[in-house]
């Protein structure tokens, strides 16, 4: 019996064991692209280990980064405080 769910899963051609993570990553990428998630929240949803890994995923998917000088300054301050501990 044909169901829309089965046809979509067949079309994405992702191993059954990897479908969940694939769908989460795809959703995170698209929500970031639409400006609905920050980089950190997108990384959290995607299950990446870090913002850097999320940046690499976005690059692979051809998503332009919305990373401002203010973002860089905040990240630099966070890094500095962590390193000073």
| Digit-coded pLDDT (tens) for 40-63 | 999 999 999 998 999 999 999 999
Q: How many CA atoms lie within 13 A of 49 on its CB side?
A: 1
> Looking at residue 14, what is its pLDDT?
80
Write out pLDDT tens, residues 3-15.
Answer: 555 667 777 788 8
* Rounded Cα–Cα distance for residues 49 and 36 (Å): 20
Q: What confidence score (pLDDT) does residue 33 get? A: 93
Q: What is the mean pLDDT of residues 60-73?
A: 86
Q: Can you list the positions of beta strands (E) in the chain?
A: none
């Amino acid at each position: 019996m044909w169901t829309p769910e089965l046809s979509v899963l067949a079309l994405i051609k992702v191993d059954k064991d990897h479908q969940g993570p694939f769908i989460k990553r795809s959703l995170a990428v698209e929500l970031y692209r639409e400006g609905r998630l920050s980089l950190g929240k997108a990384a959290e949803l995607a299950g990446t280990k870090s913002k850097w890994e999320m940046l690499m995923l976005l690059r692979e998917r051809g998503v332009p980064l919305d990373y401002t000088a203010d973002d860089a300054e905040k990240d630099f301050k966070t890094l500095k405080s962590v390193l000073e501990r």
